[in-house]
Structure 1
């Protein structure tokens, strides 16, 4: 499995994904699940993927093939006029993969399982964020719910529910996302390092801040220790329950 999360903020977008895939306890590997496309000055499109690796790789390959062999009659991530249209394009691509492989996969225990988070900015449009389901339909992040998660999201969700807000600074949001990952990594072995993180600043229309966080990353180690200490201190400061 995997864990991916993204935040839509007034100042831009923050994306993160782990890299672990597993088909049993003795078959663990690393694959990149954060993908992006850019035309500096025009658009940035970022895609996070979770679920069956063969399906998600097929979707990304279709999108790349459309860009490699452009056809005026077929929209691509570089020609769609808005992020909404980009979300529709990814959804249609998911449906195309389902048409080809869905019947065979539905006959197995795994079934057709894939989900995506798509975000970015095209032209002067405000940055937008969408969650795309295995059926190809999607929802959009709002000011009331500025974050989206896919994969093993339950362990990292509580802190996002309490802290995430649209007016956050980008670095502050990145810290929040990494704390969400810290909780997930401690509770679920199917999510693992390294982590890929991308910070997009609104209206730059380029990718300037991207990093892979390895197991020995000094900032992540200090963040994890500081969060553990802060939780213990907060717990100790609350009055005991009495009957």
Structure 2
């Protein structure tokens, strides 16, 4: 299983993903689920993936193959004129990969399902973020829907819904993401460390701050323990139910 989040802030974009993948309790490993491509001064594109690992890795591999000069596919994601066109290209690639994988007839398309969060900026346009479905279609983050989650999202969503605001700083957003991931890690063993985080500052058109959080990271431990303590204190201050 997976948990990935993309936030659309006034200041730019933030991404976080776990790295756990498993095919049973005795076959657990770590695989990166965040991919970024940049052409400084022209674009920064980040992709988060969830779903069938073979599908997600094939999609990324095809996107990277088409960036090579010897490939005749045009445009690649490094040449698309906008983030919308980039989302269309990724969506087409997802659809093609799933259709090809399922054409054998032994399994349904659902067995090869994969979902992606795509975000970034192309010169001349604004920061944009999209949720791309296995069918290849997509929706865009808006003022009313300013963040996307994929994978095991139910445990971390209440934190985001209650605390997210679009004008928060990157530092506040980091704290929010870690609380959301901590709630998910505590509730579901199929989501696990390391956690990858990336910041994209609006109009930078280049990579921003990046960090990989390990289980013993001192800041993560402070957030995890502090959140548990704060919940206990908040619970104790609530009025008791009166059984009269």
TM-score scaled to structure 1, two decimals? Answer: 0.96
Query: In 2, distance between residues paired with 1:55 and 1:163?
Result: 33
- The corresponding residue for 2:24 is 24
- Alpha-carbon offset, residue 171 of structure 1: 1.4
Q: Which residue of 2 aligns with 1:44?
A: 44
Determine whether 1:227 maps to 2:227: yes
* Pairing 1:164-175 to 2, within 5 Å after superposition: 164-175=164-175
Contact 2:49 2:114 in 1 (8 A): yes
Aligned to 1:121: 121
The unaligned stretches of length 5 or more in structure 2 are none
* Contact residue 9 and residue 166 of structure 1 kept, 8 A: yes
Q: By how many angstroms is 1:70 displaced?
A: 5.6
Deviation at 1:105, TM superposition (A): 7.2
Q: Does 1:82 align with 2:82?
A: yes
Query: What CA distance in whole angstroms lies between the structure 2 residues aligned with 1:45 and 1:221?
Result: 30
Cα distance in 2 for residues equivalent to 1:226 and 1:31? 29
- Mapped partners of 1:154, 1:178: distance in 2: 15
CA RMSD of aligned residues (A): 1.5
Q: Return the alpha-carbon distance in structure 1 between the equivalents of residues 19 and 124 of structure 2.
A: 32
What SS does the aligned partner of 1:119 have?
strand
| Alignment of structure 1 residues 24-173 onto 2, 5 Å | 24-69=24-69, 71=71, 74-104=74-104, 107=107, 111-173=111-173
Q: How many residues align?
A: 243
Shift of residue 11, structure 1, vs aligned partner: 0.3
SS at match of 2:234: helix
- Superposed CA offset, 1:68-88 (max 9, x none): 236565211111011111100
Unaligned runs of 5+ in 1: none
Question: Shift of residue 112 of structure 1?
Answer: 2.1
